[in-house]
Structure 1
Amino acid sequence: MPDDFSKEVLASLIDAEALYDQAPCGYLSFSADGTVLKINQTLLTWLGYRADEVIFQKNFSEFLSKGGQIHYEMFFRPMLNVSGTVKELSYELAKRDGTTFHVLFSAVAIRNAQNAILAVNAIITDNTHRKHYEREILKAKKLAEEEKRTFQFLADLIPEMIWTADAAGEIDYINERFIHYFALPDKVFSVNRILTKIQPDDRKRFIASWAESLLSVNDLHIELQLQNSSGQYEWHAVKAVPYLNEGRELVKWFGSCTNIDVHKRALKQKDEFISIASHELKTPITSLMGALQLLDRMKNDPSPKMLPSLIERANKNVKKVNTLVGDLLNVSQLNAGQLHLNKARFKLGPMIFNCCEHILAEGRFEILIEGDDSLEAFADQTRIEQVVINFINNAVKYAPASKQIFIAYTAGQGFAKISVADKGPGIPKDKLQHLFDRYYRVDSAGSQYSGLGLGLYICAEIIQRHSGEIGVDSQLGEGSTFWFTLPCSS
């Protein structure tokens, strides 16, 4: 030790009283009954008092809130008596101006020879910032819970199935749509349980894709068939997206299952329709080309014997192509909302007779027409003729052995009803509801008839645009009756 420094000099460097008064925490000493004996300047500053206003003038409990006073009497004093110390009790202290602040209160008892408490030394730490932090944490937790409930509420409203999984891929949340679709009363759905709901042919693809996503932490996108609560398989687009924290660590997976069954079936139906349309158009065009080639070879023959039959064949096939193309154009107009109607009043009797002329000219069928010749309708006559001709052609096509076609037109309350009936084989009940669907083609007695499956669909659209009704009544072995109604006035 240098000679310049003596023990007295070193001792003078430490001012114990100054350290006590200016400490960053509050110091307090009080008697067994709570009378304040000593208090440092830090605590006085916090409370807003002078030393002479507190020392031997106030009881420590006076600085406590009512709840704090009860706790002080019922818990603090008994605890101090038993253990002699208390650590970090949370209290609110009242300032001179009436405001309060949070503190952590620790105390040690000073006892006499008989072990009775003479005084208490206490350390008081301002806990305001910590309390504020705790409140913010609680507020943030409450907000997170509210947002979680909001997410679940929104997830339950949307039509898609929503699910989440932990980093290992184990499902930990499913929305109400998910529960309803798979009929899960226990609301528990693990990956293993999912596998039993996947169409067997799609199961291996899903397992491989999900394993790859878990390993690579990449999005999952796959289309597969899921079995609903009724036991039917429907196409779904299954997606899963990984959620990473700020450290780029995988925390959770967010997933959805969107029902795309209607879309997938529509695409399949479209592909089938394109195939059917190509075949239906190719057949008459091939026949027409053959007839034209024969006509070309016979153009220098002065007396071609086959000319009339070739011309007839060519005309027949041209009409068939024209009908097919006309159906395609009509559907295109319907889809684009461009099927315009030119409505006017006209008599139904003459219109129906005109629709029968092409069948009557062939002489193969007898058409029996019954109705009130004065009955009129307010509609687009050309479009209604299209409907009636379609009904008559279907009777010829699907009931060739009937030989008789019955047409009736009757008056109702503000509307006219037109029906076309045959005595053919009839139509099974399970097919009646689909007859007016787009692309639907009837398979009668195992024989697939030609056509695009658009005729009756177009008829239904025409009648609906006239604010009328369309339908069919049929009994197997007895025949079928197709009918529609039209308004009689504008």
Structure 2
Amino acid sequence: MESNVSTTDFENKFSECKAGFDAIFQLTTAASKIIDSNLKILKVNRALTELLGYSDNELVGTRIMDYACEEDKQHWHELQDAMWHQGKPNFQLDACIKKKDGSLAWVHVTTIVFKEDDIPYAYTILDDFTDWKKLQESEQRLSMALKYSNLAVWELDLTDRSISRSDGFDQLFGEPVTEKGWDEENFLAMFLPEDRLKLKEMLDMISPERQLDFQGCIRTASGTIKWINLQGRAERTPDGKVRILGTLYDITRDKLAEKEKEDFITIASHELKTPLTSLKGSLQLLEKMKDAPTPKMPALLEQASKGMDRVTVLVDDLLNASRMSEGQQLHLRKTRFNLSTAIDECCLHIAAAGTHHILTEGIQDLEVEADAERIQRVIANFVNNAVRYASRSKDIVIRIEQEPEQVRVSVIDSGPGIAADKIPHLFERFYRANECGEQYAGLGLGLYISAEIIKKHGGQIGVDSAPGKGSTFWFTLPAPG
């Protein structure tokens, strides 16, 4: 239906008949307008001009569809058509509109048809919910971020002591989301008894002026013990309630690393103290004998030399491990040498002690191109471990094998073997195997450094073992060209 009434005619008629309505129209804070059947804007109030950023002169005479976002135009057309041409007296929709400054606003649109002198008009109210929509979108983004980051977030309502939490919270505690939800009692029950009491006291004393920062241990649903760091802040909601919003972090790895560092310092101090004490004692005796040599001097010199060698090895291990952890590369001095000869040289100390027999098997004339000193270091480490951990295995076999495109060296003992759960950790830094409750010497760096040496050569390193079946430590090197 086409309208033949001009904007001026409408103003005249409307002002005569609806003076009271006009006052309300202008004073209401709801953005409002009146349009004709061609969707032309005939009248606007101040709230609408403030919403869109246009003056009333700029808006009157334009079509409302000029301000609609593209994605909403089709739906808006359909509703308008139904209202004007299908006899529906009103419609409602949520729509996006473009403001003068180019920004967007989201509005609830309510439109009601009325007639003046049998000519239809429509009164429209635009209720701005932009802030609410942005908040909703922000919450959705936050929810997705929490979901995909697995961040453990929790909220404790201090009125009813109920707890809301994220998926990351349930993953950390190993508890599935339950219909009954969680409360403070469920939460505290996950902590070990001593930590539970401390946390309970902190929660009872919390106030909007205080922050919560707590470290303690929980026992997950599967029985695993984890260290967690719980942080939070109390705040008062608009309705007067007090709640705590916070996060939880799994700090188990950090705590274990801290414990390993403390253990390592203790072990390193002990390992260095033993040879240094022996060296100091030998030097003191030699100092007393310097003016009157005795038959004991050669033995004391040998003991002092061994002590110095031991200190040198320990310090070298520490320096190498430090360089590797800082990403510094090992520098290789490659030469071509005979593996069997290198094995004999690095195992002289074992043969001289007479406690174990070194049996070299395989291809005796096989040569490799590598850093001889570092490869001997790996072999000596394997042999020393066999002597230390398999002390009852008097025969230690070193096998040299030629494989396609590589050479393989294996150190084999018939000792007690290694449990399967320890094998994946043997080449980790500071790891010290401990079988049957015995404590062995060493910094836990030998196999770690050996692995780095072989990796640098482009080879592989590993161990085959099982309890009661001995152990075979092995490494490979690329075959020389």
TM range (shorter): 0.7 to 0.9
- How far off its partner does 1:391 sit? 0.8
| 1:25 paired residue among 21, 32, 50 | 21
| 1:321 paired residue among 311, 320, 324 | 311
Letter in 2 for 1:146: E
- How far off its partner does 1:398 sit? 2.4
Letter in 1 for 2:212: L
The DSSP-based 3-state class of the residue aligned with 1:186 is coil
Q: 1:153 to 1:277 in 2, by over 3 A?
A: same
**2:224 paired with 1:232:** yes
| 2:245 paired residue among 248, 254, 258 | 254
Instruction: Please name the residue that 2:68 is paired with.
Output: none
The DSSP-based 3-state class of the residue aligned with 1:281 is helix
Q: How does 1:136-215 map to 2 (within 5 A)?
A: 136-137=128-129, 139-166=130-157, 168=159, 170-171=161-162, 173-181=164-172, 182-186=174-178, 188-213=181-206, 215=207
TM-score for the superposition, normalised by structure 2: 0.72
Letter in 1 for 2:360: I
Q: 1:406 to 1:25 in 2, by over 3 A?
A: same
Letter in 1 for 2:297: L
Instruction: Please name the residue that 1:264 is paired with.
Output: 255
CA RMSD of aligned residues (A): 3.4
CA contact (8 A) 1:217 1:250 kept: no
Instruction: Say which one has the larger Rg.
Output: 1
Q: 1:148 to 1:369 in 2, by over 3 A?
A: same
The DSSP-based 3-state class of the residue aligned with 2:128 is helix
Tell me, in whole angstroms, the C-alpha distance in 1 between the residues paired with 2:324 and 2:409.
23
Instruction: Please name the residue that 2:352 is paired with.
Output: 361
Instruction: Please name the residue that 1:41 is paired with.
Output: none
Tell me, in whole angstroms, the C-alpha distance in 1 between the residues paired with 2:199 and 2:242.
22
Q: 1:92 to 1:227 in 2, by over 3 A?
A: farther
- How far off its partner does 1:374 sit? 4.3
Unaligned runs of 5+ in 1: 1-18, 28-44, 49-63, 73-88, 103-127
**2:91 paired with 1:91:** no
Instruction: Please name the residue that 2:377 is paired with.
Output: 386
**2:408 paired with 1:417:** yes
CA contact (8 A) 1:68 1:91 kept: no
TM-score for the superposition, normalised by structure 1: 0.71
- How far off its partner does 1:430 sit? 3.5
Tell me, in whole angstroms, the C-alpha distance in 1 between the residues paired with 2:261 and 2:17.
90
Q: 1:46 to 1:338 in 2, by over 3 A?
A: closer
Instruction: Please name the residue that 2:277 is paired with.
Output: 286
* Percentage identity across paired residues of the two chains: 36
Letter in 2 for 1:23: A
Question: Which stretch of the first structure deviates more once superposed, 257-266 or 448-457?
Answer: 448-457
CA contact (8 A) 1:369 1:407 kept: yes
Tell me, in whole angstroms, the C-alpha distance in 2 between the residues paired with 1:341 and 1:230.
46
CA contact (8 A) 1:65 1:94 kept: no
Residue-pair matches, total: 392
| 1:460 paired residue among 423, 427, 451 | 451
Question: Which stretch of the first structure deviates more once superposed, 400-409 or 263-272?
Answer: 400-409
Unaligned runs of 5+ in 2: 1-14, 24-41, 45-59, 61-81, 91-109
CA contact (8 A) 2:89 2:113 kept: no
1:434-475 alpha-carbon deviations (Å, 9 max, x no partner) = 322222223344431211111112112222333322222234
Q: 1:465 to 1:169 in 2, by over 3 A?
A: farther
- How far off its partner does 1:68 sit? 10
- How far off its partner does 1:483 sit? 0.8
Q: How does 1:386-465 map to 2 (within 5 A)?
A: 386-465=377-456
- How far off its partner does 1:255 sit? 1.2
CA contact (8 A) 1:377 1:415 kept: no
Q: 1:65 to 1:397 in 2, by over 3 A?
A: closer
The DSSP-based 3-state class of the residue aligned with 1:443 is coil
Q: 1:449 to 1:167 in 2, by over 3 A?
A: closer
The DSSP-based 3-state class of the residue aligned with 1:25 is helix
